[in-house]
Amino acid sequence: MLELYTHPMSPCAQKVRIVLAEKGLDWTKHTVELSQKENLRPEYLALNPLGVVPTLVDKGRPIIESSIICEYLDDTFSAHSLKPSSSYQVAQMRLWMKHVDTKLHPSCGALQWPIVMRPALMEKSQSERDKLLEKIPEKPRRERQKRLVKYGLDAPDVIDGINLYRKTILDMEAALSEHQWIVSDNFSLADVCLAPYFQTIYQFGWSDMYKDCPRVAAWFERCRGRDSYLTSVIADFSPEIEADLLAKGQPAWKIISAHLAAHR
């Protein structure tokens, strides 16, 4: 009875797919083509008024917002809990999840969106682009995408995104000095929610962003080695797609590495 409206490269959708895999749940996939703004079609907005992926539908009822979906799945299907055992650790888990939603996700979008989403929009006329962008329900996201369409990787959001990513990596390195996973010695929703944002770094060949943080590097390798990650994230990236993303990431790395060097 579970249906997921998703996109292969959406970090938000990836984290929900990881939870579904960790729980061993069966579900039906509905791919929403973000580059063509299918997420802004009326029939999708009826399910998700924010016009974003993912959307989970359980017994005909839509649940939106990826972190909320992750907790919903963990609470509804309680076997193999993805929450830590102590209340303090649960609070820390939710703090990391909030950081991902409010800070890391927009930063990731600033780096990834110009590379994978902007090209399709640039094929449309100016008026077509403007009409599509005006349909974005939330003003901050709408204005950010307008800047990214206009300036690409030269948008001011990119510099802020790089700095936020770097701070997140350093904070994770400190957290991982105390335990194997982000909030405890057990894999939790904190790890689920963070891992897809390192997939973005990995797929574009930007792993040098954390080359001086060995604990983060080892953590991500542990994430990538989990069956849930293999089946719900890596399986969506064919060798052809991987090669294409690496090629697209090379020009961007010159910009990213320059900003990193300037702030170290």
Residue by residue, pLDDT tens for the chain (264 residues) are 899 999 999 999 999 999 999 999 999 999 999 988 899 999 999 999 999 999 999 999 999 999 999 999 999 998 899 999 999 999 999 999 999 999 999 999 999 999 988 998 899 999 999 999 999 998 998 999 999 999 998 899 999 999 999 999 999 999 999 999 999 999 999 999 999 999 999 999 999 999 999 999 999 999 999 999 999 999 999 999 999 999 999 999 998 998 888 766
Structure tokens, 218: 């080892």
Instruction: List every span in the chain annotated with CATH 3.40.30.10.
Output: 2-76
How far, in Å, CA of 213 to CA of 98, rounded?
23
pLDDT at 117: 86
Structural domain 87-262, CATH architecture: Up-down Bundle (1.20)
pLDDT at 20: 98
Residue 147 to residues 109, 153, 243, Cα–Cα distance (Å): 12, 10, 28
Structural domain 2-76, CATH architecture: 3-Layer(aba) Sandwich (3.40)
Kindly report the pTM of this predicted structure: 0.92
Q: Coil, strand or helix: which one is 145?
A: helix
How far, in Å, CA of 253 to CA of 255, rounded?
5
Compute φ and ψ for 29, nearest 5 degrees.
-95, 135
Name the residue type at position 140: P
pLDDT at 264: 65
Instruction: List every span in the chain annotated with CATH 1.20.1050.10.
Output: 87-262
